[in-house]
């Protein structure tokens, strides 16, 4: 039996995804009280959340910290506990919920709350992308642009994301990249370049099949420029774990990478669902075994 988690902190983002959170805090508190747990709450504001959370954790002892929100909230809490023995729990409430899906966490609140007492701990790798912490996926190119547009808009949910992607696709111009890794060098154009320690975007697009979150390496997943006639087949492969079977895709496994966009001084990068303008070259480093995550125990045989 795993150790009992008695004192729990829940980090809540009031605006993640399109989920109604009116009664969320009461639901969590009641669930924990019924099972002899103490639930405390930390609300993000968008103002120095990481520093405020780290200070809070330094003043109060907890047995686990749960991120109740979307990918941005999960990344925030993951960074706050990364490198420590304090485990991360996830109550997925965002538009994508990528990391929670990749590690098999239930997507319904009450089912995810079961992790407060029925769990195992999985130790995962994390990344540094241009100096920024990444718990799941980052990318440069088309998807980074869509994430930026999505972030700037008022609509939330998968439908809004698909609508923006459809609007931007026709006018998007692929960029040239020069990539150096600890294993190889690659130069060429790409429609999208994903920095992937994980497997699947929150939209269920499988960008990095056969990836492992704890193998001490990550993959650079490249989608080359493709004609419009190839788009349906490529999209089909991205939803059926057949990324490697396309003539327009390539993966570069590595532990370290330097990504340069020739002629550019900075580049748009999305990191765990948050857009950033970063100076180029962008350096990426793996941080092996740096994050402990509460996940459902293996199913009984």
Q: What is the distance between the alpha carbons of residues 219 and 221, in angstroms, rounded to a whole number? A: 6
- Asked whether residue 1 is domain-assigned, the answer is no
Buried b (16+ CB within 10 A) or exposed e, 59-74: eeebbbbbbbbbbbbb
- Asked whether residue 297 is domain-assigned, the answer is no
List the pLDDT tens digit at each of the 301 positions of the chain.
Answer: 577 899 999 999 876 555 556 689 999 999 999 999 999 999 999 899 999 999 999 999 999 999 999 888 999 999 999 999 999 999 999 878 889 999 999 999 999 999 999 999 999 999 999 999 999 999 998 889 888 887 776 666 566 667 777 777 878 899 999 999 999 999 999 999 999 999 888 677 888 888 899 999 999 999 999 888 888 888 878 877 788 888 899 999 999 999 999 999 999 999 998 899 999 999 999 999 999 999 999 874 4
Identify whether residues 145 and 198 lie together within a single domain: yes
Query: What would the two tokens of residue 181 be?
Result: 């890794």
Identify whether residues 42 and 148 lie together within a single domain: no
Identify whether residues 173 and 35 lie together within a single domain: no
Identify whether residues 224 and 83 lie together within a single domain: no
Can you give the residue range of the structural domain that contains 46? 7-118
Q: Which CATH number do you get for residue 275? A: 2.60.200.40
Q: What is the distance between the alpha carbons of residues 203 and 20, in angstroms, rounded to a whole number? A: 20
Identify whether residues 29 and 168 lie together within a single domain: no
Contact 11, 68 (CB under 8 A): yes
Identify whether residues 179 and 271 lie together within a single domain: yes
């Amino acid at each position: 039996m795993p150790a009992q988690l008695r004192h729990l902190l829940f980090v809540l983002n009031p605006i993640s995804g399109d989920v109604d959170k009116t009664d969320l805090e009461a639901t969590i508190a009641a669930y924990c009280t019924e099972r002899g747990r103490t639930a405390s709450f930390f609300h993000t504001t968008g103002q120095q959340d990481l520093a405020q959370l780290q200070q809070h954790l330094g003043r109060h002892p907890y047995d686990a910290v749960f991120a109740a929100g979307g990918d941005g909230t999960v990344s925030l809490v993951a960074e706050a506990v990364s490198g420590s023995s304090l485990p991360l729990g996830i109550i997925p409430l965002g538009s994508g919920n990528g990391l929670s899906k990749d590690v098999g966490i239930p997507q319904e609140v009450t089912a995810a709350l079961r992790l407060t007492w029925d769990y195992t701990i999985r130790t995962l790798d994390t990344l540094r992308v241009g100096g920024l912490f990444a718990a799941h996926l980052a990318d440069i190119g088309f998807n980074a642009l869509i994430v930026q547009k999505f972030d700037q808009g008022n609509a939330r949910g998968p439908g809004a994301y698909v609508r923006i992607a459809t609007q931007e696709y026709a006018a998007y111009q692929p960029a040239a990249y020069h990539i150096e890794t600890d294993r190889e060098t690659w130069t060429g154009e790409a429609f999208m370049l994903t920095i992937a320690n994980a497997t699947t975007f929150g939209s269920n697009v499988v960008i990095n099949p056969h990836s492992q979150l704890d193998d001490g390496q990550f993959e650079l997943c490249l989608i080359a420029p493709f004609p419009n006639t190839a788009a349906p087949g490529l999209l089909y492969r991205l939803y059926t774990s057949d990324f490697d079977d396309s003539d327009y895709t390539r993966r570069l496994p590595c532990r370290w990478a330097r990504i340069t966009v020739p002629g550019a001084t900075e580049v748009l990068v999305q990191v765990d669902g948050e857009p950033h303008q970063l100076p180029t070259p962008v350096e990426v480093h793996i941080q092996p075994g740096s994050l402990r995550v509460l996940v459902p125990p293996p199913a009984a045989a």
